[in-house]
Structure 1
């Protein structure tokens, strides 16, 4: 049996309001346009999440809101405050608690890019994988029956894209 992960960094966010807290920053116009592209790409490639777990930051939740219309209404979505600027160990712990497959996890750099890299046995040959830009999306598969069994370095990259690939 295998489980699948869709790992998404939030779309491009706005820095227009210097008084706004980091947690409350919204998407900018570019982010508002790129998130739906990712959703359509995922759906057209049959990468439909059964469970979504997201950071509680406004920009990750807005990213999900713009990706979600590409999927059926049956997708379970939950917000997890531990994913806000999470480190690899925290993301791994959150994923260990997931039940469905595919799981979509939405988070932030630098943690999500490092998590993507450390999850895989071999990185995809994409020039942007190492810097994991905004709305970068990895599809990875693991030969496990339960997320609690997941170990770093065991994943297989099935696909990786950034919004510039999809425009």
Structure 2
């Protein structure tokens, strides 16, 4: 069994006049959402053998706030290929993962993460929820009945968890710019 957890970065700000998209920080609501999701991860006793993440500032800050709520370090491996990666690139990264890793977390951006989750997941209620919207700071845990990451195939996974910040705290619910 291989378990892939996909975490979309928390809500970033568009009000900060940074020169590059790569350097956009989180906003206050995003920081709170990441800490809330981190606490939920701790409560559900989620663990990871490896964490791979985009090096974009909003991902780095998301992970710092997740760790605050989670209560432990995740020690991510930052990989430039994850910055705004397409689903196909993300799948390549998943498939190249060492088989000694049972639980892999990837932290990055939409639309790639959402497309990957929908590409990999077979039918089910949580897949339908993910298809409606994959908000910022949301986690999708996808399980595969395979021994090797190289064998992860489209439509063969099962979304076992879909954790949205608004499910944990209604004040973190959607607004007009919650994408």
Name the TM-score, length of structure 2 as normaliser.
0.85
Q: 2:158 aligns with which of 148, 156, 161?
A: 156
Cα distance between partner residues in 2 of 1:46 and 1:119: 24
Deviating above 2 A after TM superposition, structure 1's stretches of 4 or more consecutive aligned residues are 17-20, 123-128
Per-residue CA shift, 1:106-134, capped at 9, x if unaligned? 11111111111111012434775222111
The answer to whether 1:108 aligns with 2:105 is no
Per-residue CA shift, 1:33-86, capped at 9, x if unaligned? 00011111112112211210001111011111111241544x442001111111
The answer to whether 1:132 aligns with 2:131 is no
Name the TM-score, length of structure 1 as normaliser.
0.91
Q: Is the 8 A contact 1:47 1:102 kept in 2?
A: no
Distance 1:43 1:19, change over 3 A: closer
Q: Report the counterpart of residue 85 of structure 2 in structure 1.
A: 86
Cα distance between partner residues in 2 of 1:29 and 1:47: 25
Provide the secondary structure at the position in 1 that maps to 2:130: coil
The answer to whether 1:97 aligns with 2:99 is no
Instruction: Give aligned pairs, total.
Output: 165
CA RMSD, 1 decimal? 1.7
Cα distance between partner residues in 2 of 1:56 and 1:146: 26
Distance 1:121 1:10, change over 3 A: same
Q: Is the 8 A contact 1:117 1:123 kept in 2?
A: no
Q: Report the counterpart of residue 27 of structure 1 in structure 2.
A: 26
Q: Is the 8 A contact 1:10 1:60 kept in 2?
A: yes
Q: Is the 8 A contact 2:54 2:108 kept in 1?
A: yes
